[in-house]
Amino acid sequence: MERGMDLKKAVIVGAVVLVILVGGAYLLFFGGGEDGSGKDDQNIEKNRSPVADAGRDITVKAGELFNLSGWDSSDPDGDPLSYYWDMDAGTDSNSDGINDNDRDREGVNITYSYPITGSTTTYIVTLNVSDGDKWDTSTVRVTVIVEEEPLTVSMSCRYEAGYPPLIEAQFILSVDSVSRNESFTEFHFTLEDPEGDTIRQGAVLDLINLSTDAEIRYIDNPLTSMGEIDGGDVFTLKENQEIVEGCVFKLYYLNELDPAGEVELAK
């Protein structure tokens, strides 16, 4: 009788153990997460944002093509990326109220050019990168320089001897041509002796009566010649002990160190 009771107890204990084992296995493999995935919800990986990189600031010439690359952009999840370039953060070309999301160009590598304007301009270019869900942006400064042609003045000289009606002999300097139209008020001059030392200097409109010993005269009336320099402008230098053959007349523009034009006095 006791032996039968022991057998029943053993069967009951075995059944309980079996139930515990089966239940634990179910919980382990099927009930670990609320979604039945077997994973802890807190450990489920979430999509991370991409990292945009528009590259370094560059300086280019107006009207010329240049390249930009977002190649160094990346995504921590390895997701494929889309690239959208807004070529001027100060302009809202799609009229959505945002100044840096215009899709002026698309692609990881782009080619672009800015038109020639009146002065050097810096544009803020924004690269928008998307993994299809999240975005990141990066900016790069593109400085567009306007290269103005050098100002050159072509000059010549002739000599007038001291015969009537001239009172004294003089050198006559003529401006034959100018590469750009510029105002007289932006020029100044120097007169160097044959050894290269400056003996006279001043503004172009102050050429008359620099001294009683050495007169440099601007033939056209300075009071009416406030316009642009052209090929019809003439200066005269009265010959004396200082102003002689071999002196050099140099015409400068603004604060430039090199003369825009020069001519040697010759008889």
- Which pLDDT score is estimated for 223? 53
Which of 145, 164, 179 corresponds to the end of one domain? Answer: 145
CB neighbour list of residue 231: distance below 8 Å, 6 or more residues apart: 175, 176, 177, 178
Question: Per the domain annotation, does 11 fall within a domain?
Answer: no
Same domain membership, residue 189 and residue 110 = no
Same domain membership, residue 183 and residue 112 = no
Same domain membership, residue 94 and residue 64 = yes
**pLDDT at residue 53 is higher than 80:** yes
- Which pLDDT score is estimated for 124? 93
Q: What is the mean pLDDT of residues 97-108?
A: 88
Which of 125, 145, 165 corresponds to the end of one domain? Answer: 145
Cα angle 256, 258, 261; round to 5: 110
Full residue range of the structural domain in which residue 130 is found: 58-145
CATH code, domain carrying 118 = 2.60.40.10
Q: Where is mean pLDDT largest: 3-7, 111-115, 127-131, 250-254?
A: 127-131
Model pLDDT for residues 209-228, shown as the tens digit of each residue: 555 556 677 766 555 555 67
Model pLDDT for residues 190-214, shown as the tens digit of each residue: 999 999 999 988 888 777 655 555 6
Mean pLDDT of the chain: 80
What are 135's two structure tokens?
A: 């975005």
Q: Given strand 198-203, what is the order of strands in its sheet?
A: 198-203, 187-192, 248-253, 261-264
**pLDDT at residue 101 is higher than 80:** yes
Same domain membership, residue 173 and residue 254 = yes
Q: Is the pTM of this model over 0.85?
A: no
Q: What is the mean pLDDT of residues 168-187?
A: 86
Same domain membership, residue 172 and residue 141 = no
**pLDDT at residue 28 is higher than 50:** no
- Which pLDDT score is estimated for 181? 79
- Which stretch of 67-76, 97-106, 239-248 has the lowest confidence by average pLDDT? 97-106
Q: What's the total number of domains in the chain?
A: 2
Which of 127, 145, 163 corresponds to the end of one domain? Answer: 145
**What is the C-alpha to C-alpha distance for residues 30 and 175, in angstroms, rounded to an integer?**
97
Same domain membership, residue 129 and residue 161 = no
**What is the C-alpha to C-alpha distance for residues 107 and 52, in angstroms, rounded to an integer?**
13
